[in-house]
Protein backbone atom coordinates (compact mmCIF):
# COMPACT_ATOMS: atom_id res chain seq x y z
CA UNK A 1 0.00 0.00 0.00
CA UNK A 2 1.39 3.34 -1.03
CA UNK A 3 1.37 6.42 1.16
CA UNK A 4 -1.51 8.82 0.56
CA UNK A 5 -1.01 11.52 -2.05
CA UNK A 6 0.85 14.59 -0.83
CA UNK A 7 -1.35 17.67 -1.11
CA UNK A 8 0.13 20.90 -2.42
CA UNK A 9 -0.67 23.94 -0.29
CA UNK A 10 -2.20 26.05 -3.07
CA UNK A 11 -3.88 23.53 -5.33
CA UNK A 12 -4.72 24.89 -8.80
CA UNK A 13 -7.90 22.84 -9.08
CA UNK A 14 -9.21 23.60 -5.58
CA UNK A 15 -8.66 27.29 -6.42
CA UNK A 16 -9.85 27.15 -10.00
CA UNK A 17 -11.14 30.20 -11.80
CA UNK A 18 -14.88 29.52 -11.58
CA UNK A 19 -15.48 31.12 -14.98
CA UNK A 20 -13.80 28.07 -16.55
CA UNK A 21 -16.21 25.59 -14.92
CA UNK A 22 -18.76 24.20 -17.38
CA UNK A 23 -20.47 21.71 -15.08
CA UNK A 24 -19.90 19.99 -11.78
CA UNK A 25 -21.23 17.28 -9.55
CA UNK A 26 -20.31 16.36 -6.00
CA UNK A 27 -17.47 14.21 -7.35
CA UNK A 28 -16.16 15.88 -10.49
CA UNK A 29 -15.71 19.24 -12.10
CA UNK A 30 -15.80 19.82 -15.86
CA UNK A 31 -13.55 22.66 -16.93
CA UNK A 32 -12.78 24.34 -20.20
CA UNK A 33 -9.14 23.72 -20.98
CA UNK A 34 -6.78 25.72 -23.13
CA UNK A 35 -7.31 26.62 -26.76
CA UNK A 36 -4.48 24.60 -28.25
CA UNK A 37 -7.26 22.23 -29.25
CA UNK A 38 -10.68 23.78 -29.80
CA UNK A 39 -12.96 22.38 -27.15
CA UNK A 40 -10.22 20.96 -24.94
CA UNK A 41 -12.07 19.86 -21.81
CA UNK A 42 -10.83 18.62 -18.45
CA UNK A 43 -12.90 16.27 -16.28
CA UNK A 44 -11.32 16.32 -12.83
CA UNK A 45 -12.02 14.48 -9.62
CA UNK A 46 -12.74 16.89 -6.79
CA UNK A 47 -10.99 14.46 -4.46
CA UNK A 48 -7.21 14.64 -4.18
CA UNK A 49 -5.93 11.43 -5.75
CA UNK A 50 -3.19 10.96 -8.33
CA UNK A 51 -3.49 7.23 -9.06
CA UNK A 52 -6.47 5.21 -10.23
CA UNK A 53 -5.48 2.59 -7.69
CA UNK A 54 -6.27 5.06 -4.91
CA UNK A 55 -9.94 5.00 -5.92
CA UNK A 56 -12.47 2.53 -4.68
CA UNK A 57 -14.40 0.52 -7.31
CA UNK A 58 -17.42 2.84 -7.08
CA UNK A 59 -15.28 5.94 -7.45
CA UNK A 60 -13.41 4.48 -10.41
CA UNK A 61 -16.60 3.50 -12.23
CA UNK A 62 -18.19 6.89 -11.55
CA UNK A 63 -15.09 8.69 -12.83
CA UNK A 64 -15.15 6.67 -16.06
CA UNK A 65 -18.89 7.23 -16.46
CA UNK A 66 -18.38 10.98 -15.96
CA UNK A 67 -15.82 10.88 -18.77
CA UNK A 68 -18.31 9.11 -21.05
CA UNK A 69 -21.10 11.61 -20.35
CA UNK A 70 -18.81 14.56 -21.06
CA UNK A 71 -17.38 12.89 -24.18
CA UNK A 72 -20.90 12.40 -25.54
CA UNK A 73 -21.69 16.08 -24.90
CA UNK A 74 -18.48 17.21 -26.61
CA UNK A 75 -19.22 15.01 -29.64
CA UNK A 76 -22.79 16.32 -29.83
CA UNK A 77 -21.81 19.99 -29.64
CA UNK A 78 -18.42 20.22 -31.34
CA UNK A 79 -18.75 17.31 -33.78
CA UNK A 80 -15.06 16.39 -33.83
CA UNK A 81 -13.75 13.70 -36.17
CA UNK A 82 -12.23 11.95 -33.15
CA UNK A 83 -11.56 12.48 -29.47
CA UNK A 84 -8.21 11.86 -27.80
CA UNK A 85 -8.01 11.27 -24.06
CA UNK A 86 -5.23 11.54 -21.51
CA UNK A 87 -5.48 10.72 -17.81
CA UNK A 88 -3.09 12.81 -15.76
CA UNK A 89 -2.51 13.97 -12.22
CA UNK A 90 1.02 15.30 -12.11
CA UNK A 91 1.05 19.05 -11.57
CA UNK A 92 -2.49 19.09 -10.23
CA UNK A 93 -3.03 16.44 -7.58
CA UNK A 94 -6.46 15.51 -8.81
CA UNK A 95 -6.77 12.74 -11.38
CA UNK A 96 -8.19 14.41 -14.46
CA UNK A 97 -9.10 13.37 -17.95
CA UNK A 98 -8.10 15.65 -20.78
CA UNK A 99 -10.47 15.42 -23.73
CA UNK A 100 -8.99 16.70 -27.00
CA UNK A 101 -11.43 17.11 -29.87
CA UNK A 102 -9.56 16.35 -33.09
CA UNK A 103 -10.46 17.43 -36.60
CA UNK A 104 -9.18 16.21 -39.95
CA UNK A 105 -8.29 19.83 -40.70
CA UNK A 106 -5.92 20.00 -37.69
CA UNK A 107 -2.29 20.57 -38.72
CA UNK A 108 -1.38 17.69 -36.38
CA UNK A 109 -4.23 15.34 -37.43
CA UNK A 110 -3.20 11.72 -36.93
CA UNK A 111 -0.57 12.66 -34.36
CA UNK A 112 -0.79 12.67 -30.57
CA UNK A 113 -2.06 16.04 -29.36
CA UNK A 114 0.70 18.61 -29.01
CA UNK A 115 0.68 20.61 -25.82
CA UNK A 116 2.30 23.97 -26.67
CA UNK A 117 3.32 24.98 -23.16
CA UNK A 118 5.28 21.74 -22.79
CA UNK A 119 7.15 22.42 -26.01
CA UNK A 120 10.17 24.55 -25.34
CA UNK A 121 13.83 24.71 -26.23
CA UNK A 122 14.70 21.47 -27.98
CA UNK A 123 11.11 20.32 -28.21
CA UNK A 124 9.65 23.02 -30.48
CA UNK A 125 7.51 21.27 -33.09
CA UNK A 126 8.12 21.82 -36.80
CA UNK A 127 6.06 24.70 -38.25
CA UNK A 128 3.58 22.39 -40.01
CA UNK A 129 2.65 20.87 -36.65
CA UNK A 130 2.34 24.08 -34.65
CA UNK A 131 -1.13 24.53 -33.24
CA UNK A 132 -2.62 27.97 -33.06
CA UNK A 133 -4.98 28.93 -30.28
CA UNK A 134 -8.54 28.10 -31.28
CA UNK A 135 -10.88 28.87 -28.40
CA UNK A 136 -14.43 27.63 -28.47
CA UNK A 137 -16.90 30.20 -29.68
CA UNK A 138 -19.14 31.63 -26.96
CA UNK A 139 -22.11 29.90 -28.61
CA UNK A 140 -20.36 26.53 -28.51
CA UNK A 141 -19.41 27.01 -24.86
CA UNK A 142 -22.99 27.89 -23.90
CA UNK A 143 -24.36 24.94 -25.89
CA UNK A 144 -21.91 22.59 -24.18
CA UNK A 145 -23.01 23.91 -20.78
CA UNK A 146 -26.65 23.41 -21.79
CA UNK A 147 -26.08 19.83 -22.98
CA UNK A 148 -24.11 18.96 -19.84
CA UNK A 149 -26.82 20.44 -17.63
CA UNK A 150 -29.49 18.56 -19.62
CA UNK A 151 -27.54 15.33 -19.07
CA UNK A 152 -28.38 16.00 -15.48
CA UNK A 153 -26.94 14.73 -12.28
CA UNK A 154 -28.54 11.35 -12.95
CA UNK A 155 -26.26 10.67 -15.90
CA UNK A 156 -23.26 11.43 -13.74
CA UNK A 157 -24.25 8.74 -11.20
ZN1 LIG B 1 -6.95 20.34 -4.85
Report the separation in Å between the CA atom of 61 and the middle of ligand 1, taken as the mean of its atom positions: 21
Report the separation in Å between the CA atom of 67 and the middle of ligand 1, taken as the mean of its atom positions: 19
Report the separation in Å between the CA atom of 143 and the middle of ligand 1, taken as the mean of its atom positions: 28
Report the separation in Å between the CA atom of 8 and the middle of ligand 1, taken as the mean of its atom positions: 8
Report the separation in Å between the CA atom of 1 and the middle of ligand 1, taken as the mean of its atom positions: 22
Report the separation in Å between the CA atom of 38 and the middle of ligand 1, taken as the mean of its atom positions: 25
Give this prediction's pTM. 0.82
Domain ranges within the chain, ordered by starting residue:
18-150
The pLDDT assigned to 71 comes to 96
CATH class given for the domain over 18-150: alpha beta
> What is the chain written as a DSSP string?
-PPPPPPPSS-TTTT--GGGEEEE-SSEEEEE--TTSTT-EEEEESS-BSSGGGS-HHHHHHHHHHHHHHHHHHHHHH--SEEEEEEE-SSSSB-EEEEEEE-TTSTTTTSPPP-GGG--GGGPPPGGG-----PPPHHHHHHHHHHHHHHHHHHT-
Report the separation in Å between the CA atom of 14 and the middle of ligand 1, taken as the mean of its atom positions: 4
Could you read off the pLDDT tens digit of each residue along the chain, which spans 157 residues?
A: 566 665 556 898 999 888 889 999 888 999 998 777 788 899 999 999 999 999 998 999 999 999 999 999 999 999 999 999 999 998 889 999 999 999 998 877 888 887 665 544 545 555 555 555 567 888 999 999 999 999 865 666 5
Report the separation in Å between the CA atom of 154 and the middle of ligand 1, taken as the mean of its atom positions: 25
The pLDDT assigned to 119 comes to 47
Question: For the segment 59-69, what is each residue's pLDDT rounded down to a tens digit?
Answer: 999 999 999 99
Cα 134 from chain centroid (whole Å): 16
Report the separation in Å between the CA atom of 88 and the middle of ligand 1, taken as the mean of its atom positions: 14
Amino acid sequence: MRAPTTIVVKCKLCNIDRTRVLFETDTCVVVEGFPHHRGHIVVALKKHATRLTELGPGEYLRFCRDLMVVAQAVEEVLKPDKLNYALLGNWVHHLHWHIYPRYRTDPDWGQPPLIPWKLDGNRVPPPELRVEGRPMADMEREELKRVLAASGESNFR
